Structure 1
Amino acid sequence: MTFRQEYPRPQLVRGDWLNLNGEWDFEFDDQNIGLEEKWFKESAEYKRKINVPFAYQTKLSGINDSTFHDWVWYRREFTISDSMNGKQIILHFGAVDYRAMVFINGNLVGSHEGGHTSFSFDITNYLQDGNQTLVVRVEDPSIDETIPRGKQYWIEKSAAIWYTRTTGIWQTVWIEAVNKTHIKKLRFTPDIDKGDITIDFEVAGNYINKKVDIDITFKDEVIANETIQIHESFVKRSINLYNRKIFRTGFHHVGWNWSPENPNLFDVKIRVKEQEQVLDTISSYFGMRKIHTENGMVYLNNRPYYQKLVLDQGYWPEGLLTAPTDEDLKKDIELTKEMGFNGCRKHQKVEDPRFLYWADKLGFLVWGECAASPSYSEDAVARLTNEWIEIIERDYNHPCIVTWVPINESWGVPSICNNDQQIHHSAAMYHLIHSLDTTRLVISNDGWELTKTDICAIHNYNHGQKDEVEKYNEFMNSLRTTENLLLSRPAGREIYTKGYHHSGEPILLTEFGGIGYKVGDDSGWGYTSVTNEEDFLADYERVMKAVYESSALHGYCYTQLTDVEQEINGLLTYDRKPKCDLQLLKKINDMWHVPIVR
């Protein structure tokens, strides 16, 4: 059975493409002899089969081997369809963890480092008549602690807060055929105050005497048409959408902004033309959305917005980092909204673009986070920086993403409390991301020891068991006022590191809860524990009551959406079964009034 056949890049869609997921030849290379022995040649022997895009550690891969293999090889054949002949053929990888070398018909076409972002190669000049042979060599070093790994355990299979690691291809592999003159990059920047959408894109190939037609529609109503004569490869235009009018639907343009309550999206079609001949056609979409802070609060579309987030680690029991189906990604969002949350913090994972697509479509806030490295070094800095540049380039257009989180709980900067170099790194990541993206908030170090930041993000799991009354009262009191929050030191760490202090930014409790509840045969741990559904709901209400009674907090992120391996502190089991009536959870989440955007 072949999984994950949906179009993998929802922000830039073309019609002429081929999905390469499915059965590939596969082999471990534990002695690292594959390059020397030329395993990239067709004559090399591969003894195993693997189901791409699932890592060999997963059940769905067909291998299900959790032991460490630092070098692995993939191979498969494919053919170019008649419709693709005469065009440029681009080979795309959704994500490969961690270093990849790619060969076509025995020739190296390129390499990529970074386990969480997309990359591609023009393979046109490497193709031959008939069948094509694609080989991928992957290196995923188990002993290098400067690599951004996130929750993947680099010492053993899984333990404590660390999970089974992912090696190799874990997102869709595909090819597309394009004209030599085509859209290469596309970016949408909304300005709801002016009613403008700024569109910028790059045109690859010969752009002389070419033009671009841009059509924008909203629910099948034509909003704008524009034709641009191309004079250079980079093109940037601002188009006013509102145009001083009331829309036919009877709502003013404010009703067309994107929010979790009203996930309005504009559809876009862009055609590159030479006279009347269409050279390239792409489909995309955008949302008119603004996020900013003011008066100690987060504002969505110029109104105060209380964020009710849940921590989402994006693991599946049969696929680890890879969702078995596109429907699974959608279902996670639907279940989360059903419980009364309006978003998630994607924790230590750069999520599949298909998840972001469904978040855009369904109305779901996302905090984007990157995997951290275990230790600090100049190499670790370079690797994290490069991944963030690629993350923002890939995901910039998704309106669901409202916050970037480059560092979590001082992971990768363990001495930031007194090490100037690590302090500079945290502050530099904040400024780097803002230099690439002016449309979102950035948190420098989620949890504690913050430097420059747009949100004061605090983690606190000290609510105790229900019979630990004194501990619970201390937890409640620590949340009560701004002063108490800033003095709380919940993990024995200062909220701000030396040289930095609170400057009025909104305060959110961005990790807490983690109530452990064993369902079925699962075993594991949580920050506190209960033994039945009634106690689970009661303890959840007890913890949430402390949060909602705080006048200083402007949102939260509850730990966590699902159980993950040995962690049983999810609201859902690992296989997404509710641990209690979700409507009762929603009732608790809705019990205390907070303002929302309408």
Structure 2
Amino acid sequence: MSWTENLDHFRPDFFRKGLPLNDDFTVLWAPLDKGWRIRYDGENKGVQERWYKSEQHFAGGRGKDIIIPNAPQTQASGLTPQERASVPNVVWYAGHFAYPPDAFTLGCAFIKFGAVDYEATVWLDGQQVGHHRGGHTPFEVDATSFVKKNHKVFIAVQVKDKVTDLTQPRGKQYWKPQSESIFYTPTTGLWQPVWFEWLPTKSRIINAVLTPDIDRGTLTVDAEFADLEQLQSPALQVSCRLGSFPIGRTQRLIPSSSDRSTITLSLALPGSSPPDELIESLNKPGSTILPTQITGDAWNDGVALWSPEHPFLYDVQLELLDLGENARHAQLDSIMTYTGMRKISFEDGQFKLNNRPYFQRLVLDQGYWPQSGMTPPDDKAFIRDITKMKELGFNGCRKHQKVEDPRFLFCADHLGFLVWGEMANAYEFSTSYMERFTQEWTEVIKRDINHPCIVAWVPVNESWAYTALPTSARQRDFLRAIYYLTKSLDPTRPCVDNDGWEHVISDLLTIHDYAPGEELRITAASKEKLLDRKAGKEVLLEGSGKEYTAGQPIILSEFGGVAIDLGRTHGAAGGTESWGYHTARSDIEFLSRLKSLVDAVIDGGIVQGFCYTQLADVEQEANGLLTADRQFKIDPVKIKEIIGRRSRFDP
């Protein structure tokens, strides 16, 4: 089966395999994307009037049909232009779901939400069952007591999204009535999938963190469980395969007093080269994960390494077992996931992938589409985007001011594409902001920590919300705290505290510079000039190790921004003029400007990688290499010749 078929599941990176019940494998989930209604609540009276009690509050002219998961501001939602332009701070969704009549006796059931922007409260059959704050991270509600055969459960979701609240993490969602400059149409409500998941027992695997170690050739799995008290002898079993070749299997009893278990599994095979049967397994027709010859950068000490050039992935199955003599089900839960054996390190001023210097050629990816906003138009949109980025010569992207749908990361893992994981920022610093940001950023890291494609974390961009960072010890302390929180949750990746400038503590020294090529050439050839003020701001703040340390690789994490053919208008942006950092009036002029910029960076011999602004046009921002609907503006072969020029840091 091709990995692309798993995109049908909304968490293809971590999903439940059907359990062997009644000599058959039973499906354990179903999408909830049909039959939804939306009702605006500008007066915030829905709770008082108990809209959550009955679908009658959404019937007829009281509500409208909506196509989820598309925000009501988008054309893909199916709402009228007037309805899209008048979304209030409070909206309600209503729908139904039912348990499959031929399914097994239920143990537990959950409704899972990929992301709801911004604050959601959920009712089932009139009873409140859950609440979540944070517009980019998933949550679930327990539906077990409501699910019965031949019964349709009524679900109501109230969403609060105050567009003008600048302490609310929002990314590029604008707080003014009309989009302009680098800011876009807001997103409210259900913008990632909703689905129904069930199990025959309450005992289950909740989460697992997979930590690869290429130096030791091991994979450590730290799994978390729920409701183990009823089991006689619970155990965790971890199995790994590479292609169809079995690598190893380990089983461990779970202590009776614990809800966690940790297993370290050796993945290293003996010998200096892969066994013949493994090579045969990986090179069978239709395989997409292997080179024709397995070389040193793909195979090291018995381990297949993950990289953009060779995206080897080990399939991992996690099983919760009950080994007691009288156990009704030996296998209680089964999760299918995967890992990439790769290592990110930085030393001697160099960024390294798998212990080798690696030059990052990134592109800024905003993740917006003209008809559907932050929601992809279909399941294969992420594959098309990554494929086109690679055609342009990039080996990765900085996912900018958006925590992307996990299916994008799944595709990047399989296609071999680096990703910088970035938080959507707020624009005003306060106690409320700190609480909101800490909660959501923690959830982001926990959700995405297992993806090998992610090679850096970026909690803050360009001091957004930190307007007094040079003079406010409080703001600097919180930024430092976020850095250490990130490193505590994930010590395996670098953290960029504040991308662009005003660094307090950072593993990578990242700089934003939109100067034209001739000016950038002077800057990129000198460490002193690279560390000069950018956009009127210090690159390093006092008290943060003002002197540059040789261990920090320098990355030009934003540059370029050349718009082609300015002067067009975009209806989605309210008819505003197109915008860009610079202007090129022809294809020839654009290619000349792009070459001047890239050559300046590479000829300087100091910068370890770059991130070009940007992949695609978004509303009025027209400095994309692609149009908003993902068409190449210029021959990608010509762009790849420029972007792909070798640097002295390439192996």
Residues 86-235 of structure 1 correspond to what in structure 2 (within 5 A)? 86-128=106-148, 130-178=151-199, 179-206=201-228, 207-231=231-255, 232-235=258-261
**Per the alignment, in what secondary structure is the counterpart of residue 549 of structure 1?**
helix
Residue 357 of structure 1 and its aligned partner are, at CA, apart by 0.1
What is the match of residue 467 of structure 1? none
- Structure-2 separation of matches of 1:68 and 1:135: 18
- Structure-1 separation of matches of 2:597 and 2:224: 50
| Conserved 8 A contact 1:84-1:177 | no
Matched, 1:242 2:268: yes
Which of 278, 301, 310 is equivalent to 2:354?
301
What is the match of residue 630 of structure 2? 576
- Structure-1 separation of matches of 2:384 and 2:191: 20
Residues 104-503 of structure 1 correspond to what in structure 2 (within 5 A)? 104-128=124-148, 130-178=151-199, 179-206=201-228, 207-231=231-255, 232-245=258-271, 246-248=273-275, 249=278, 252-253=299-300, 256-275=304-323, 277-463=330-516, 472-487=517-532, 489-500=533-544, 501=546, 502-503=548-549
| Conserved 8 A contact 2:236-2:254 | yes
Amino acid of the structure 2 residue aligned with 1:69: P
After superposition, what is the alpha-carbon deviation per residue over 1:420-477, rounded to whole angstroms, capped at 9, x for unaligned?
11111111111110011011110011000001100110000121xxxxxxxx533311
What is the match of residue 77 of structure 1? 96
- Structure-2 separation of matches of 1:294 and 1:335: 32
After superposition, what is the alpha-carbon deviation per residue over 1:75-134, rounded to whole angstroms, capped at 9, x for unaligned?
111110132542200110000000000011111001000000001121112335511111
Give unmatched runs, 5+ long, in structure 2: 1-5, 19-27, 280-293, 324-328, 571-576
RMSD: 1.7
| Worse-matched range after superposition: 33-42 or 498-507 | 498-507
**Per the alignment, in what secondary structure is the counterpart of residue 588 of structure 2?**
helix
Amino acid of the structure 2 residue aligned with 1:315: Y
Q: Determine what percentage of the aligned residue pairs are the same residue.
A: 41
- Structure-1 separation of matches of 2:614 and 2:527: 25
Indicate how the Cα distance of structure 1 residues 79 and 5 shifts in structure 2: closer, same or farther if over 3 A, else same.
Answer: farther
After superposition, what is the alpha-carbon deviation per residue over 1:130-150, rounded to whole angstroms, capped at 9, x for unaligned?
111111100001232110011
- Structure-2 separation of matches of 1:293 and 1:460: 23
| Conserved 8 A contact 1:329-1:354 | yes
- Structure-2 separation of matches of 1:26 and 1:351: 24
**Per the alignment, in what secondary structure is the counterpart of residue 15 of structure 2?**
coil
- Structure-2 separation of matches of 1:76 and 1:157: 31
**Per the alignment, in what secondary structure is the counterpart of residue 427 of structure 1?**
helix
**Per the alignment, in what secondary structure is the counterpart of residue 248 of structure 2?**
strand
Equivalent residues, number? 585
Matched, 1:529 2:564: no
Residue 210 of structure 1 and its aligned partner are, at CA, apart by 2.2
- Structure-2 separation of matches of 1:247 and 1:516: 48
Amino acid of the structure 2 residue aligned with 1:491: A
**Per the alignment, in what secondary structure is the counterpart of residue 51 of structure 1?**
coil
| Worse-matched range after superposition: 197-206 or 77-86 | 77-86
**Per the alignment, in what secondary structure is the counterpart of residue 128 of structure 2?**
strand
Residue 346 of structure 1 and its aligned partner are, at CA, apart by 0.5
- Structure-1 separation of matches of 2:619 and 2:569: 12
**Per the alignment, in what secondary structure is the counterpart of residue 376 of structure 1?**
coil
| Conserved 8 A contact 1:480-1:551 | yes
**Per the alignment, in what secondary structure is the counterpart of residue 143 of structure 1?**
coil
Amino acid of the structure 2 residue aligned with 1:136: V
After superposition, what is the alpha-carbon deviation per residue over 1:48-95, rounded to whole angstroms, capped at 9, x for unaligned?
010010000001100151334100000111110132542200110000
What is the match of residue 45 of structure 2? 33
Indicate how the Cα distance of structure 1 residues 256 and 409 shifts in structure 2: closer, same or farther if over 3 A, else same.
Answer: same
After superposition, what is the alpha-carbon deviation per residue over 1:212-244, rounded to whole angstroms, capped at 9, x for unaligned?
332110011000011222223200011111154
Give unmatched runs, 5+ long, in structure 1: 464-471
Scaled by the length of structure 2, what TM-score is found?
0.87
Which of 62, 67, 70 is equivalent to 1:54?
70
- Structure-1 separation of matches of 2:220 and 2:620: 46
Matched, 1:546 2:606: no
